[in-house]
Amino acid sequence: MATHRYSFVVTLVSFFLAQHGCEARVLLNNNNNVNNVGFVRAQAAETCERYKVSEVFRDASAAGLSVCRTWAFRDGGDRALQISPATYDECVFQGDDNMLNGQEVQELKSMGTTTSTHIPLSKDTYYKDHIKRVLTRYNTIVTRMTYIITAWELMNEPRCQTDYSGRTAQEMASFVKSLDRKHMLEIGMGGFYGDGMPEKKQNNPGISRGDENAEMGFRMTSHWEDANNILKKPLVIAEFGKSSKDPGFTQLPPEMIS
């Protein structure tokens, strides 16, 4: 379904809506069409590799997808965004600009993950400085970047084994919203039930019941029902794919499979 290119995204129960003035159109219904393309940041940072980024977004658009989940960070290794604390590689930032431009060309929206799961939220100053740098930077290519962003994500699959209260996440969420009140914000959780619903822990990732396909069905159904009936919010399934353990699994493109 076509969306408003220059509009902010809001939620209405289990729907994502692209809102423009008094009008609103359905963008996503329970995340039917979000794809995870965090890997393209490496290609976007290299001028000679950027055609691959364009190809990914062109294929995503052709497949009917409307939102791409991408990383707004790259820690360590080749083409790191943050070379050292508070020191950034502007060339990598410009690669991000190019990546967002590629999404705009294909009329796609972007969901940006701000930090890696390996950075403890307890390091408040470090985290806040990084968030401020990313969220307040001016895009060098796309002047309408704010409309391309669907939502920000606090962290990629955060883990905290010492504080289950959620206070730290709430504090960081408040800080992000103090910088940007126009875009939605999600935590970035990996789909884990906590002590508040112990009967649902059997649907957490990593819990094996022998049949992987059946397990995935149980988890998806459980999260979908609870998002609709309890949270009254849309469900984002941002990482998915065929398991390498499945019979007949191959990385070959469909046209090469007989």
- Non-local CB neighbours of 181 within 8 Å, separated by 6+ positions: none
Q: Phi-psi bin for 105: left (phi > 0), alpha (psi -120 to 50), beta?
A: alpha
Active-site residue, from 46, 107, 215, 239: 239
> d(Cα 9, Cα 18) in Å, to the nearest integer?
4
**How many other CB atoms are there within 10 angstroms of residue 91's CB atom?**
12
Nearest to 150 by CA among 234, 60, 40, 240: 234
157 is catalytic: yes
> d(Cα 60, Cα 47) in Å, to the nearest integer?
21
Greatest pairwise CA separation for the chain in angstroms: 55
> d(Cα 235, Cα 176) in Å, to the nearest integer?
21
Active-site residue, from 104, 153, 157, 186: 157
Given a contact cutoff of 8 angstroms between Cβ atoms, the answer to whether 158 and 118 are in contact is no
Q: Tell how strand 8-12 and strand 15-20 pair up.
A: antiparallel
Catalytic residues, which ones?
Answer: 157, 239
